Every structure is written in C-alpha cells, then in structure tokens.
Chain A
Amino acid sequence: MKTRSLLSPASLVLAIAAFSASAQAQIAIGHLADYSGGTSDVGTPYGQAVADTFAWVNKNGGVGGKQLNVDTNDYGYQVPRAIALYKKWSASDSKVAAIMGWGTADTEALTGFLAQDKIPDLSGSYAAALTDPEGVSGKAKPAPYNFFYGPSYSDSLRAMLMWAAEDWKAKGKAGKPKFVHMGANHPYPNAPKAAGEAMAQELGFEVLPPLVFALAPGDYSAQCLSLKSSGANYAYLGNTAASNISVMKACKTAGVEIQFLGNVWGMDENAAKTAGDAANGVIFPLRTAVSWGGDAPGMKTVMEISKMSDPTGKVYRPVHYIAAVCSALYMKEALDWAAKNGGATGENVAKGFHQKKDWVPAGMEGVCSPSTWTDKDHRGTLKVDLYRTKISGATDGDLNDLMAKGTIKLEKVKTIELPRKPELLGW
C-alpha cells in the first residue's frame, strides 16, 4: 500500500514530464485544405497528399528527431476562415513553424501578415504575385515568406501561348489567332490574366474580352455561344477541373471548335474521366515529371506515402496528389535545414528554402522538377511541361483500368523553358 502511494505520484510526475517533453519536442505546422469549398475537386487530393506525406515523415522519425504536429483544417475556400485559422497559428502561445497554404485569395490576404510574423507559407496558389520576395519589380507587394512548387500561373500561361502560336503556324491557318481568357471573377483565375493577355498580344494574337464563369460546376452554354460567335481559337480556362469540365461539355454540345488551355489545377485524370471525350485534346501544364505509376525512381516513395491513407495501394492518385507530395517534402527538407541551423522557427525555415540549387527532395528523383528559390526570386522553376489529354473511348469504370488500358492518356507535348527575365518577376 505504501509503495503504491509513493509510486503513483512519482509515475504521475513522470507521465507529465513525458507528456510535456513530447509536446515540446513537436514542430507545429498549419495546413489549410479545401475539402468542401469552390476548389474542393482538386483540393481534396492535394490536401490528402499533404496529410499523408507528413504522416509518413512522422513514421520515419520526423524532422531532426521531432514529430510534426500538423493542424489540418478544411476552410472551405473562404478567406475569413483562413484568416481566423491564421490568427490561431500566429498566436505567440501556439505559433507554427510553417504553413501549407492553399487558395490565391487567402494566400494574398495573408502575405503581409506572414512577413510580419515571419512564418513561411508554401501555398497551392501559384500566383506570380507571390514570387517577388522584396517587391523590387513594383508589380506586386513584397512576399518574402511565400513559396510554391511549380511554374507560376503566369509562366504556365506564357508557355501555353508560345505553344499555341506555334500550333497556329503548324496548322497553316491564315490570319491572327484569337485568344480569350476564361474564369471566375476571383483572384485565382484573374492572377495570370494581365500577364497572359500582354504575352498574347506580343505573340500576335487578337485578344478578345474575357469571359466569366463561376468556380462551381454549372450550365455554361451562354459562354460557349459567345465563344462560337466571337470565333475564338484558343481559350484559357482559369478555374479548377470540375468547373472547367462544365464549359468543355457545354461547348462540345454547342459544337464550338476551340483549343482549350487549362491551368495546373484545370485538368487531371479524374476530370478527364468525368468529362469523357469533351476533355479530349486539352493542353495543360504538369508540375511533376511523371504521373501516377510513372517510370521514375521517386515514384516508389510516392506509392509508400499513398499507403498512409490507402493501405491497399489500389487507389489511383491524380497529378495534384503527386505535386502535393513534392510540395510537402520541400517543406520537410526546409524544416530539416532549419532544425540543424538554429531550430525550426519560421525565419530559419524560410532560409532553408534558399539553400539549394536545382533541388529535388531526397527519394523523389525523377518525380519532382528541380527547383531553386533564392532570397531575391521565388520563382522555383520556369520550366513548363505541357501535356495533352487523349481520350479514346468510353470513360466508365475504374480509373486504374482506364489509365492502364490507355483510354485516358496524358501525352507530353512540349517542354518550354522560359527565360528568367527580371522584369517579369512578380507578374
């Protein structure tokens, strides 16, 4: 009895000590995910991949011996909810070392706060406005703590326009090709609008007035009829896949002859399956060198990470999943560097991003495109891999089968390496 009464307070103290030690030995990370909002179609695989990757990192020893404490929140693509979460993450008693962000509107709203509180944010927004850390170009506010993995929306669109100009010549058509920007009146589709239209003019396109369609799926026959009557040849789809599909389907029905150019979130395997032959021939940029099951040494790591939420290993993961694995692993390695160089604080993590040149996360060789972030330029890469969807039959059935049989194919069209022009920084 006596030993017990002596033991239990001792064990309690031990337990508390162990608990507080484990609480201290964690690195807090905020994660904004959109599972229910306007971009949930692509936000779900991306968010799942971020969660899976950090769970996998934790399983394999964490960062510098510390576990990552990832606070994943579905914010429904709403700026006010993102800001409310940010307030929690930036409070002094629960400050996070880094944030895995998402949308363009919320990332831009947070940019000033991030710089003030010194918290790096690797976003799912690829807006060029986030690439200028010092604001020297005068085109955007300084964004020293914003990062993203992949070509910016503007650079992707520039590359697609360069392809389109060549395509027009190759087809031997006469006259000026007509280009139109399409998307919701929202920061994300609007982000590359001015840059794209300027580039189109430079390349000799006739630029038509932009067409607006909502971020949610709907009936966009009216937009297709305007495309038809204006005689547009190339249309940029600025929204995410589900909404873009609605346009493609409506335009197929209306018999519009047009080449669609999607943004990085504008097309994926799930979308191609849903849209069927309406999605045939869409050009879009891919952020990773291969898609799911592709032949690359790094794909093994991706498959392992995928097993964190799918132990069977049978689920087909779309391109956004793989891009998110790359993004989360860049963050992990930046955290690694910070942990070794003064501790995983926001300021050190941001410095961690600036350490390597042509950086590929360990174990991801052949999957993630080599990226370089410097303290003066946050354009991680200017290389744009353009792909084309090819749909050769009915798309019912399992996505794994459809991809294996080649009913849905992502064909590589061209790799365009844009020059790193200083005047285009932040635009």
Chain B
Amino acid sequence: MAGPALIPAGDFRTSYAADTTIFPTTTSRNFAIIGVLLLCLVPQFLGGYWLSILIQIGIFSIAALGLNILVGFTGQISIGHAAFFLLGAFTSAYISNNAPIPVFFAIPLAGVVTALVGLIFGIPAARLKGLYLVIATLAAQYILLDFFSRAEWFTGGSVPASANPFSIFGFALRGDRQYFYVVLAYVIASYVLVTNLMRTRDGRALVAIRDHYLSAEIMGINLTKYRTLSFGLAAFFAGIAGALYAHYQLVVSQEGFGIERSILFLAMIIIGGTGSIMGTLMGTAFVVLLPETMEFISLYLKGGAIDKALSLNTNITFLREIAIGVIIIAFLMFEPDGLAHRWRQIKAYWKLYPFSH
C-alpha cells in the first residue's frame, strides 16, 4: 500500500529519526494542528444532530483503532471486538456507580480491566491462526454477551444499566457540547499513542509478525508474547471506547452489540485500510455516516413519486439496509486498499497537478 514505489525520486531521508517522523513536512504538521483547533470550535457552530454524529465517529474510531492494531498491524483477527467494547462500557458504569471513583478515572480503569480480560481471550491466539482464530474469538463474543445477560450484580441483567454523567471532583459535564471535548481529547491521545507505538521496538515486532511470523521468530521475537499483547492492546482501546460510550449515552444496554457490531468494526478498518492509522478514522466516519445518509435518502423518498409508484411504505427501511450492504460490497470491489489508499492517491494527484502524466 504505502510501498516505496509511491515515494517519488529525490525524496530520501538521511537519518532514522527522519525516517520515522509522523509528519513528513512542516505543512502537514501545521495542517494537523489547525485541524484539531478547528474541531475545537465545532461545537459552537454545529447542531445537536451533527455533534452526536461526530461524537459517535470519535468513540467508534478509538475502538476501531484497537482492532486495527490487532488486524492491520499484527495480522491476527477478532470477531469479538463488540463484546470488549461492551465490557468497557459496563465496567466503567459499574465502577463509577459503586465506588467513590469519578468517571474521569473510571474510563481509563475500564480500559485496563478490559485489557486484562482481552489478554485472557488472547491466549488461544498464541497457537491458532486464520480461520481457527476467528472461531476462537467468536467464543469471546458469546461468552461475554451471555455473561452480561446473566450477571445482574454487574450489568443489571436484561434491564439496561445506568451510567453517571462525566464528572471530575464534583464538576459534572452535561450535554453533547461539553462531552465532545472529552471524546476529542481521547481520540487525539489514542491516535498519537498508537502512531508512536508503531515507531517503537514493540510496534515493529508486531508488524514483523504480520509480514512473516516465521522470520520474526527466527529474529528472536517472542510470538506468544506479542500476539497476546496485541489482543490486550485491542481490548484496551475497545474498553476505553466502550466507557466513553457509556458515559455519553448514560445508559448501557447490551442490545446492538452482538456479532454484527463486531463485524461492523472489522468493516470500519477494512474500508478505511488495514494497517493505516488515518484510514481507521476515515473508515469509521464512512461506516457511521452511511446509514445516516441512507436515512436522509429514504426520508426524501418517503411519500414521493417513487414511493407511491412502487408502494414501498415501511419497506423503505429494508431498502435502506440492502443499499448499505450493496454500497459496502461495491466499495470493497473498487477500493480494495481502503480509503487511506485513495486519500494518498488524491494527494499525489494534486502534488503533481497539472503534470500527472
């Protein structure tokens, strides 16, 4: 994807530090800083609906980032990510309801607890690969979800659990406008953290395992340690995201976090580009925005000429679900390397404009 073939002639580095820099040019760094500053101003201008969409993108992108460490960087797979997300949500709600710990601290704590559970479910990953690993992680999904529906002391059983609003030392944040900044802070911290992780020795070990596990082992990389660690990291970010989600919604319900949500997380990183940190954010935005866009279209169709001609009525809902599926298939056929790849091509096009040929 970001192979050396894309690097133009004359663009070379003379030090290791330059080779691993996050921002290749000062302009790109400035753009990133300006982008963050602009996002800080967003709650002043956006309405409630768009703000809630941005918050959702933020929260889910943290969970998807965790999954990308596992899938995109380590070459493992998991279809139990939604269960870890939910575990983080319930844990944070439980901690902040039952212990004198403010939500501010409950969120990272929930991440740690989820990471520990993730390490346990990561054990089979040390021995299994490919399709066998898929089935092993499926177990995580079902075991955790069944646990949530039965452990009434922890989750409230089948009745949704309530979560406190975000607070620190008696100062509570209420409303989306304020919560947006909490999510933004977590998104920036997580993305900086993971970008840096991939520049360290441990990050390179993960990538080596993905590219060729046998060579990695011969070079002295402890496969068991790093594969399990990768599960723990993935679960950590899922837990953080889940906790953020719990204190955003103020209610935690296990509905909507079945296997289909786990697969949606996979869709986010596949659409965005596996092994691409920026791609994770793009893929999440795509997956969150797609149903909303389809909702607008179906709303527009409702009562219109097409609706009447085909007598669709409530079937528009089903058309919407079908359309989402079709768009994802089409996307994977025509854009197999993800949005991150397309973004790089757009940048390359404008860099060379008007002499792109």
Chain A interface (Cβ within 8 Å of chain B)? 35-36, 44, 47-48, 74, 77-81, 83-84, 87-88, 91, 93-94, 105, 108-109, 112-113, 185-187, 190, 309
Q: Known: A48-B314, A88-B48. Is A83-B251 also a contact (CB below 8 A)?
A: yes
**Contact across chains for A105 and B317 when beta carbons are under 8 A apart:** no
**Contact across chains for B249 and A83 when beta carbons are under 8 A apart:** yes
- Tell me which of A74, A109, A190 contacts B251 (CB under 8 A): A109
Q: Identify the interface centre among A44, A47, A74, A112: most chain B CB within 10 Å of its CB.
A: A74
Q: Give 8 closest A-B pairs by Cβ, nearest first.
A: A79-B253, A91-B48, A109-B251, A78-B256, A109-B160, A35-B314, A36-B317, A79-B255
Category for how many chain B residues contact A: 20 to 34
Judged by a CB distance under 8 angstroms, whether B52 is at the interface is yes
Chain B 147-169 residues near chain A, CB threshold 8 A = 149-150, 157-160, 162
Residues of B within 8 A of A36 (CB): 317-318, 321
**Contact across chains for A190 and B158 when beta carbons are under 8 A apart:** yes
Chain B 222-263 residues near chain A, CB threshold 8 A = 249-251, 253, 255-256
Shortest C-beta distance, B151 to chain A (Å), equals 12
Judged by a CB distance under 8 angstroms, whether B176 is at the interface is yes
Chain B interface (Cβ within 8 Å of chain A)? 47-49, 52, 149-150, 157-160, 162, 176, 249-251, 253, 255-256, 313-314, 317-318, 321
Residues of A within 8 A of B249 (CB): 80, 83
**Contact across chains for B48 and A87 when beta carbons are under 8 A apart:** yes
Q: Known: A36-B317, A186-B158, A309-B313. Is A79-B49 also a contact (CB below 8 A)?
A: no
**Contact across chains for A108 and B159 when beta carbons are under 8 A apart:** yes
Chain A contact residues: over half helix, strand or loop, or mixed? helix
- Tell me which of B253, B314, B317 contacts A109 (CB under 8 A): B253
Residues of B within 8 A of A91 (CB): 48
Q: Known: A35-B314, A83-B251, A109-B251. Is A185-B256 also a contact (CB below 8 A)?
A: no
**Contact across chains for B159 and A35 when beta carbons are under 8 A apart:** no
**In the complex the two chains form, what is the Cα distance from A47 to B316 in whole Å?**
14
Residues of A within 8 A of B158 (CB): 105, 185-187, 190
**Contact across chains for B48 and A105 when beta carbons are under 8 A apart:** no
- Tell me which of B157, B256, B313, B321 contacts A80 (CB under 8 A): B256
Shortest C-beta distance, A40 to chain B (Å), equals 9
**In the complex the two chains form, what is the Cα distance from A187 to B149 in whole Å?**
10
Please name 12 pairs of A and B residues whose Cβ atoms are closer than 8 Å in the assembled complex, sorted by A. A36-B317, A36-B321, A80-B249, A83-B251, A84-B52, A88-B49, A91-B48, A108-B160, A113-B250, A185-B149, A185-B157, A187-B160
Residues of A within 8 A of B317 (CB): 35-36, 74
Shortest C-beta distance, A94 to chain B (Å), equals 7
Shortest C-beta distance, B348 to chain A (Å), equals 38
**Contact across chains for B314 and A187 when beta carbons are under 8 A apart:** no
Residues of A within 8 A of B48 (CB): 87-88, 91, 93-94
**Contact across chains for A105 and B255 when beta carbons are under 8 A apart:** yes
Q: B256: nearest residue on chain A (CB-CB)?
A: A78
Residues of A within 8 A of B314 (CB): 35, 44, 47-48, 74
**Contact across chains for A93 and B255 when beta carbons are under 8 A apart:** no
Shortest C-beta distance, B220 to chain A (Å), equals 46
Q: A141: nearest residue on chain B (CB-CB)?
A: B162
**Contact across chains for B255 and A78 when beta carbons are under 8 A apart:** yes
Shortest C-beta distance, B59 to chain A (Å), equals 11
**In the complex the two chains form, what is the Cα distance from A36 to B291 in whole Å?**
14
**Contact across chains for B160 and A93 when beta carbons are under 8 A apart:** no
**Contact across chains for B255 and A80 when beta carbons are under 8 A apart:** yes
Shortest C-beta distance, B163 to chain A (Å), equals 11
**In the complex the two chains form, what is the Cα distance from A187 to B255 in whole Å?**
11
